[in-house]
């Protein structure tokens, strides 16, 4: 027995690298800096949720316009991501990362100083524009900064953890600073973090080469306006309805602009989106799976936050703490997903994760007005956190697998645009379902149908992954010589 253990130990020692790559320390620091920026960008989607009542009291928004504190950021962020990704590919990713993060930081400061609703909404929109310029470069810089494949997989796992847990961290941070100080600190807190990242990024993160060629202006305009039109239409459906002129008209305009984009991209010598990126069936299936997962998760944040505050009578900070199991589960899973993906494969991990999400949302659908936090919220939040951590890294790896370095920014922008559209569709659809069963003066009626819809989104994600991520057997002999991580990424 001992000799067998010794043999395995010696074999493992031979498999390990003799030393770290020469630039491993610098690369690790650069990855940490870029991930800090990513966390700041994604948590800003949720950080102001728990502060909305105090913003309304302070600036006098009124119920009809208060949602634009969130929607203005989402619109600009989701609408400009494809453009931001292409700009990073052409102009240099570190350069666009710095420009976007500078915008985000400046308008965070101005938003915190806002004295009227219009000032805050404009600042939030320009924050979102800055985030859209920086965010696609984050993922591309992570893949180019990693010194080897193992480090790349760890970086992608941490990126998934940061991106998926950002909303719950935002709720916790927003509740804390709102309780201890003012809603304005939900914006001011970005300023020192943004400055620290900007001052250190160029020292530890290597710029990518610029790519010559003409810029696709028709594609840029049609992609941006098409995405804005679709997101704008969807975020208004809970208020205006799915069959309203506003919703149908906006969706028609958005889809028409995306048709113009598709026609342009197959003809332009330097397209905004490389057509081959969306001709790959596995990549398209992974993108659709991501949209469905994000759509289901955003409904949980939107509805469970209100349940915690209105039914369980939790304050802003306590509501943020209520989502801590989700964040801890996601980060915990990020430590083992790089190991798991080489053994289970991306498809199996996604199937297990989406199946677990179905269980979590079916549990939430049984919630009642007399339940307690540990009886009705803790378990489902923990399960969905574990499931989300299981899903994000293999989806990201599948989307980026086989993408040429010069198109990594475009692929990153495509992935994050899909996330934004998924969140808009999820919130719009599930909130509309909730509204059909709502009872004035009561919050719980309507929750069962809403969370069953979230479960249906998760079932759809499972089905798409099961069918769309099947590996072609003809590629197996050639792929067998590769490392497991590279096989799954291809």
At residue 433, the pLDDT reads 83
Q: Are 380 and 335 in contact (CB under 8 A)?
A: no
Q: How far apart are CA 456 and CA 154, in angstroms?
A: 31
100: Cα within 13 Å, side-chain hemisphere: 32
Tell me, yes or no, whether 46 lies in a domain: yes
- Position 3 in a domain: no
Instruction: For residue range 59-72, list pLDDT tens digits in order.
Output: 887 655 677 787 78
Condensed to tens digits (0 to 9), the pLDDT of residues 206-253 reads 776 666 656 677 887 888 888 888 878 877 777 788 888 998 999 999
User: What is the maximal distance between C-alpha atoms in the chain?
Assistant: 76
pLDDT of residue 23: 52
Model pLDDT, residue 24: 57
Gap between the Cα atoms of 175 and 207, Å rounded: 37
Q: Is residue 130 part of a domain?
A: yes
The residue with tokens 């958005």 is 254
For residue 31, being part of any structural domain is answered with: yes
The 10s digit of each residue's pLDDT in 242-281 is 888 998 999 999 999 989 988 887 787 777 777 878 888 8
The predicted structure's pLDDT at residue 222: 86
**Closest Cα partner for 30 from 133, 131, 135, 142?**
142
pLDDT at 9: 42
Residue 73 has pLDDT above 90, yes or no: no
Q: Over pLDDT 90: what percentage of the chain?
A: 23
pLDDT at 170: 77
Contact 138, 89 (CB under 8 A): no
Sign of the C-alpha dihedral computed for residues 161, 166, 172 and 176 taken in this order:
positive
Residue 381 token pair: 């939040």
pLDDT in tens, 383-429: 999 999 899 889 988 988 877 777 777 787 788 888 878 887 787 78
Is residue 131 situated within a structural domain?
yes
Q: What is the pLDDT of residues 278-303, one digit of tens each?
A: 888 899 999 999 999 988 887 777 78
pLDDT on residue 401: 81
Q: In this predicted structure, what is the pLDDT of residue 407? A: 74
Please, which pLDDT band fits residue 107 given cuts at 50, 70 and 90? very high
pLDDT reading at 430 higher than 50: yes
Mean pLDDT within 442-462:
91
Cα–Cα distance measured from residue 329 to residue 71, given in angstroms and rounded to the nearest whole number: 28
Question: Residue 70's domain spans which residues?
Answer: 26-205+214-471+480-489
Q: How many helices (H) and strands (E) does the chain have?
A: 24, 0
Domain count for the chain: 1
Residue 15 lies in a domain: no
Q: How confident is the model at residue 323 (pLDDT cuts 50, 70, 90)?
A: confident
Smallest CA-to-CA distance from 205 within 92, 338, 100 is with 92
Integer-rounded Cα radius of gyration of the chain = 22
Report the candidate in 172, 168, 174 with the shortest Cα–Cα distance to residue 189: 174
155-188 tens-digit pLDDT: 777 777 777 666 677 777 877 887 777 888 889 9
Tell me what the pLDDT averaged over the chain comes to.
80
CA 75, CA 72: separation in Å to the nearest integer? 5
Nearest to 346 by CA among 280, 396, 277, 275: 396
Residue 160 maps to which CATH number? 1.20.1250.20
- The answer on pLDDT for 369 being more than 70 is yes
Q: Residue 143 falls within a domain, yes or no?
A: yes
pLDDT at 425: 79
DSSP string, 159-182: HHHHHHHHHHHHHHHHHHHHHHS-
| pLDDT at residue number 102 | 94
- pLDDT at residue 109, as a whole number: 95
**pLDDT score recorded for residue 22:** 47
Q: Are the beta carbons of 384 and 297 closer than 8 angstroms?
A: yes
In a domain, 16, yes or no: no
CA 103/CA 230 separation, integer angstroms: 24
């Amino acid at each position: 027995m001992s000799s067998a253990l010794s043999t395995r130990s010696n074999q493992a020692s031979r498999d390990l690298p003799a030393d770290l790559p020469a630039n491993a320390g610098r690369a690790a620091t650069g990855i940490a800096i870029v991930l800090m920026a990513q966390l700041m960008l994604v948590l800003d989607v949720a950080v102001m949720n728990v502060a909305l009542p105090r913003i309304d009291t302070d600036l006098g928004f009124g119920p009809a316009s208060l949602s634009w504190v969130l929607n203005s950021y989402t619109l600009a962020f989701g609408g400009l991501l494809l453009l931001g990704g292409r700009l990073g590919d052409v102009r240099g990713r570190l350069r666009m990362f710095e420009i976007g993060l500078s915008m985000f930081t400046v308008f965070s400061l101005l938003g915190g100083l806002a004295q009227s609703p219009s000032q805050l909404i404009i600042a939030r929109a320009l924050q979102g524009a800055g985030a859209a310029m920086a965010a696609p470069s984050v993922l591309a810089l992570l893949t180019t900064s990693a010194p080897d494949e193992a480090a790349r997989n760890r970086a992608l796992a941490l990126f998934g953890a940061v991106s998926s847990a950002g909303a719950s961290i935002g709720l916790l941070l927003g509740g804390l600073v709102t309780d201890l100080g003012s809603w304005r600190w939900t914006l001011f807190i970005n300023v020192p973090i943004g400055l620290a990242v900007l001052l250190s990024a160029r020292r530890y993160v290597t710029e990518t080469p610029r790519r010559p060629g003409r810029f696709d202006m028709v594609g840029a305009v049609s992609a941006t306006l098409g995405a804005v039109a679709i997101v704008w239409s969807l975020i208004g459906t809970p208020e205006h309805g799915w069959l309203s002129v506003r919703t149908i008209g906006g969706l028609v305009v958005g889809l028409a602009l995306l048709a113009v984009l598709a026609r342009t991209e197959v003809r332009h010598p330097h397209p905004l989106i490389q057509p081959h990126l969306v001709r790959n069936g596995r990549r398209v299936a992974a993108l659709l799976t991501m949209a469905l997962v994000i759509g289901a998760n955003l409904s949980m944040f939107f509805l469970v936050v209100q349940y915690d505050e209105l039914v369980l009578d939790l304050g802003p900070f306590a509501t943020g703490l209520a989502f801590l199991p989700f964040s801890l589960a996601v980060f915990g899973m990020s430590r083992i997903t790089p190991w798991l993906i080489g053994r289970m494969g991306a498809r199996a991990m996604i199937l297990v994760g989406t199946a677990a999400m179905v269980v979590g949302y079916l549990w939430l659908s049984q919630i009642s007005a007399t339940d307690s936090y540990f009886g009705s919220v803790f378990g489902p939040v923990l399960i969905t956190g574990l499931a989300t951590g299981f899903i994000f890294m293999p989806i990201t790896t599948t989307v980026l697998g086989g993408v040429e370095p010069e198109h990594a920014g475009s692929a990153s922008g495509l992935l994050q645009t899909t996330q934004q559209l998924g969140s808009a569709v999820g919130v719009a659809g599930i909130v509309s379902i909730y509204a059909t069963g709502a009872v004035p003066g009561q919050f719980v009626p309507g929750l069962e149908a809403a969370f069953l819809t979230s479960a249906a989104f998760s079932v759809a994600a499972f089905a798409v992954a099961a069918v769309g991520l099947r590996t072609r057997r003809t590629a197996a002999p050639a792929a067998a010589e590769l490392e497991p991580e590279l096989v799954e990424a291809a």
